[in-house]
C-alpha cells in the first residue's frame, strides 16, 4: 500500500496524527505511518498480550481469548509477533496453511467464521526453521504485519508478543501509537510475578493502559475427582495487581484437556466448553465485552446459590424440546433453590433463531440455568461466557417435573442429542 492508496487523505477525523507529517519525518516513514493508520482505523480495540517471563502460557491465553471473542460473534484478528518462537500456528492447527496476497496486501488466514490470523510462522518454508534476525529486521516484519495485512473491519485485534520488554512489544506499541491496552499474563509463583511487575512498569513508561493481569496455571484440577490443587501456589498475581494498582482479571486453572486441545490445534473454549478453564476464559471475555455484565454475573452467582434463580427450558408440544434451537417456546421458571420449589412460570416466544441470538436473549431474561436435550458446542460456549449453566441430555418430559427433579438432584441426564 502506498500513501495514495490509503484513506488518510479523506479521513474526517481531524485529530488523527496521520494527517500531517511530523518534523524530521521522512516521506517514506510518513507514508508507512499513514498506511498503518488506515488499516488500524478499521479496527475497534487493539490489545497487546504481554508476559514478563516465558513459559506462562501467554500464547495459549491469547489464542483462547481470541477464539472466545470470535465465538461471541465478534470479528477478531490475532497477530503473533513472536518472531523467534511463533506458537499460534500450532495452537490453531495452521501448520502448512498458505498465506496469499497481492502486490500491496497480505491476507490473514481465516479460522472459522470470525477469526483472522497472521504469524511469521505462516511465512516460513519449514515449520522448524530458525529465524535469526536482529532488531531492525524484526521491526521491519512487525511494520509489514501492521501496514500490509488486509485485516479489514475488526472488533478486536489481539497481539501475542514474546515474553519480556524487548524489541517486539516495544515496536508494536510504538507503531500502533494508541493501542487500547495490555493484558498481562503471569503464573502464581513469585519468580513470575516479579517479572510481571517489570511488564507493568514497561506499559506505564509507554503510556499503555493495563487492562488487567491474568493468573494462568492457577491450580490443577484433577480429571478424576475434580479436586483443586495449587501446585504453583495461589494468589500471587492478584496480590501483585492490587499492589500495582491494576485490575485482576481472574485465574485460569490447569486441566489435562488444555494440553490435549492445544496439541490438537483447537482452543479449549471450543473443544471443552464445559471445562473450568473454558469458563474462566469466558469470564475474562465478558469483562472485555461488557464490564457491567461481568459484575452482574458475579452478583447473580453469589446471590443464587441458595436463593432465587431462573431456569429456562425449551418447549415443543408441551414437553421439553430435545433440540434446543427448534423449540416453539421457552418456559422460564422462577425457583427457590434453597426451598427446592417453583415460585412462578413465564412462557416466552423466542426471537428468530440465528447463531448467537438465543444465548444473548435468555441471558437478558435473567436465566441462570438451561435444561435441554441437546445443544451445539458454540451455543454452550456462549452461555458459559454469559455465566449461564447448561445441562444437556435431559429427556422430553413435563417441564415442571424436569425443574423439580433438577432442584432435588434426581434429574437423570443422558448424552447430548444435538452436539454440532
pLDDT digit string, tens, across residues 344-395: 889 998 887 776 778 878 888 888 899 998 888 778 877 877 778 888 888 8
The answer to whether residue 152 scores a pLDDT higher than 60 is: yes
Which range, 6-10, 250-254, 376-380, 414-418, has the best average confidence (pLDDT)? 250-254
All CATH 3.30.420.130 domain ranges of the chain, comma separated, are 305-407
The answer to whether residue 280 scores a pLDDT higher than 90 is: no
Confidence (pLDDT) at 96: 83
Q: Which residues contact 359 (CB under 8 A, 6 or more apart)?
A: 379, 382, 383, 386, 388
Which of 406, 414, 360 is closest to 383 using CA atoms?
360
Residue range 150-158: mean pLDDT, rounded? 95
Residue with cell 511488564: 199
CB 64 within 8 A of CB 281: yes
Quick: pLDDT tens for 240-273. Answer: 888 888 888 988 988 888 888 888 899 999 988 8
Residue range 313-321: mean pLDDT, rounded? 90
The chain-wide mean pLDDT, for the chain, equals 84
Q: Looking at 162-171, 208-217, 290-299, which range is the least confident one? A: 290-299
Confidence (pLDDT) at 81: 92
Confidence (pLDDT) at 14: 60
Q: How confident is the model at residue 8 (pLDDT cuts 50, 70, 90)?
A: low
The answer to whether residue 299 scores a pLDDT higher than 70 is: no
CATH class of 30-289: alpha beta
pTM of the model: 0.69
More confident call, 131 vs 95: 95
Asked if CATH classification 3.30.420.130 holds for the domain at 305-407, the reply, yes or no, is: yes
CA distances from 299 to 293, 294, 368, 370 (A): 10, 9, 12, 19
- Euclidean distance between CA atoms 393 and 265, whole angstroms: 28
Confidence (pLDDT) at 24: 82
The answer to whether residue 419 scores a pLDDT higher than 60 is: no
Confidence (pLDDT) at 60: 94
Q: What percent of the chain has pLDDT over 90?
A: 34
The answer to whether residue 222 scores a pLDDT higher than 80 is: no
The answer to whether residue 297 scores a pLDDT higher than 60 is: no
CB 149 within 8 A of CB 110: no
- Euclidean distance between CA atoms 109 and 112, whole angstroms: 10
All CATH 3.40.50.300 domain ranges of the chain, comma separated, are 30-289
The answer to whether residue 76 scores a pLDDT higher than 90 is: yes
Amino acid at each position: 500500500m502506498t500513501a495514495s492508496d490509503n484513506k488518510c487523505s479523506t479521513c474526517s477525523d481531524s485529530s488523527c496524527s496521520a494527517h500531517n507529517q511530523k518534523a524530521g519525518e521522512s516521506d517514506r516513514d510518513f507514508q508507512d505511518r499513514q498506511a498503518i493508520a488506515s488499516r488500524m482505523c478499521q479496527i475497534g480495540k487493539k490489545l497487546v498480550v504481554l508476559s514478563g517471563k516465558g513459559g506462562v502460557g501467554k500464547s495459549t491465553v491469547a489464542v483462547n481469548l481470541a477464539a472466545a471473542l470470535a465465538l461471541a460473534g465478534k470479528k477478531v484478528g490475532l497477530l503473533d509477533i513472536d518472531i523467534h518462537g511463533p506458537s499460534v500456528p500450532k495452537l490453531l492447527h495452521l501448520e502448512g496453511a498458505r498465506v496469499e496476497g497481492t502486490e500491496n496486501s497480505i491476507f490473514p488466514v481465516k479460522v472459522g467464521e470470525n477469526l483472522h490470523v497472521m504469524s511469521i510462522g505462516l511465512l516460513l518454508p519449514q515449520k522448524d526453521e530458525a529465524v535469526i534476525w536482529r532488531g531492525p529486521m524484526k521491526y521491519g516484519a512487525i511494520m509489514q504485519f501492521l501496514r500490509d495485512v488486509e485485516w479489514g473491519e475488526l472488533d478486536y485485534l489481539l497481539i501475542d508478543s514474546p515474553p519480556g520488554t524487548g524489541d517486539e512489544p516495544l515496536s508494536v506499541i510504538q507503531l500502533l501509537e494508541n493501542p487500547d491496552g495490555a493484558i498481562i499474563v503471569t503464573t502464581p509463583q513469585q519468580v513470575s510475578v516479579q517479572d510481571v511487575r517489570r511488564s507493568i512498569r514497561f506499559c506505564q513508561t509507554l503510556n499503555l493502559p493495563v487492562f488487567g493481569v491474568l493468573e494462568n496455571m492457577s491450580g490443577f484440577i484433577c480429571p478424576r475427582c475434580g479436586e483443586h490443587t495449587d501446585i504453583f501456589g495461589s494468589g500471587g498475581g492478584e496480590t501483585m495487581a492490587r499492589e500495582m494498582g491494576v485490575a485482576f482479571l481472574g485465574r485460569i486453572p490447569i486441566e489435562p484437556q488444555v494440553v490435549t486441545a492445544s496439541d490438537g490445534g483447537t482452543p479449549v473454549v471450543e473443544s471443552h466448553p464445559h471445562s473450568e478453564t473454558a469458563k474462566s476464559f469466558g469470564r475474562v471475555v465478558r469483562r472485555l465485552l461488557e464490564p457491567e455484565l461481568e459484575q452482574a454475573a458475579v452478583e447473580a452467582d453469589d446471590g443464587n446459590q441458595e436463593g432465587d434463580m431462573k431456569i429456562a427450558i425449551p418447549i415443543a408440544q408441551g414437553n421439553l424440546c430435545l433440540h434446543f434451537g427448534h423449540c416453539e417456546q421457552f418456559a422460564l421458571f422462577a425457583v427457590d433453590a434453597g426451598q427446592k420449589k417453583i415460585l412462578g412460570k413465564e412462557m416466552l416466544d423466542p426471537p428468530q433463531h440465528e447463531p448467537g441470538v438465543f444465548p444473548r436473549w435468555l441471558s437478558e431474561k435473567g436465566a441462570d440455568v438451561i435444561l435441554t436435550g441437546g445443544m451445539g458446542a458454540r451455543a454452550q460456549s456462549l452461555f458459559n461466557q454469559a455465566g449461564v449453566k447448561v445441562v444437556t441430555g435431559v429427556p422430553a418430559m413435563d417441564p415442571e417435573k424436569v425443574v423439580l427433579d433438577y432442584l432435588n438432584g434426581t434429574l437423570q441426564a443422558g448424552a447430548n442429542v444435538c452436539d454440532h
